[in-house]
Amino acid sequence: MSRPTVLLLHGPNLNLLGSREPDVYGTATLDDHVATATAAADAHGFDLVALQSNHEGVLIDAIHEARRDHSGIIVNPGAFTHSSWAIHDALAAFDGPVVELHLSNPDAREPWRRTSVVSPVATGSIAGFGGHGYRLAVDAMAALLA
Ligand code: DQA
């Protein structure tokens, strides 16, 4: 039997992790985080398919394709977290579990980051644990898929 797959989706500017505001986001690169998450998923018996895009429509297309191809979605939408009702609607049309993930704790930062339009359509959210959040998000997804 083939293993379930989970989409690991990253939004804008997260391709710059490692050099972008390291005091906020740390020095690990996106590839480092994907490798951590992939190893954790493998231990739980599922595979990750990772995609990063700076373009809202590409993220929405990936969420639509996940309806057919993937059992769950782990998503760090970057700044689209706070503004994209289109990503909200795409996730609302996805039937499986959705884990919202942030490296920083947006609630502890500028006021405009305190609203997430993604949280209402996520099964749950993990924020503020830096790179450890990837392992936590994968553990949460494993529990949701069990
Ligand atoms: C972020 C938090 C967002 O507010 C910000 O726009 C990001 C990264 C995080 O992972 O902490 O790009 O999603």
DSSP 32-85: HHHHHHHHHHHHHT-EEEEEE-S-HHHHHHHHHHHHHH-SEEEEE-GGGGGT-H
Q: What is the pTM of this model?
A: 0.97
- CA–CA dist 107, 51 (Å, integer): 25
pLDDT of amino acid 112 = 97
Encode 78-102 in three state secondary structure.
Answer: HHHHHCCHHHHHHHHCCCCCEEEEE
Q: Which residues are catalytic?
A: 25, 102
User: In the prediction, which pLDDT does 1 show?
Assistant: 67
Our mutation pick for probing the ligand 1 site, out of 17, 19, 56, 103, counting the most ligand atoms within 8 A of Cβ, is 103
By alpha-carbon position, which residue is closest to atom 2 of ligand 1? 78
pLDDT tens digits for range 79-104: 999 999 999 999 999 999 999 999 99
Q: What is the pLDDT of residue 10?
A: 98
- Residue 74 β-bridge partners: 8, 99
The binding-site residues of ligand 1, defined as CB within 6 angstroms of any ligand atom, are: 13, 76, 78-79, 81, 102-104, 106, 113
Domain that holds residue 50: 5-145
Q: State the total domains in the chain.
A: 1
CATH of the domain at 119: 3.40.50.9100
pLDDT per position as a tens digit, 35-71:
999 999 999 999 999 999 999 999 999 999 999 999 9
Distances (CA, A) of 130 to 38, 67, 103, 112: 16, 28, 4, 20
pLDDT at 2: 84
Kindly give the pairing relationship between strand 98-102 and strand 124-127: parallel
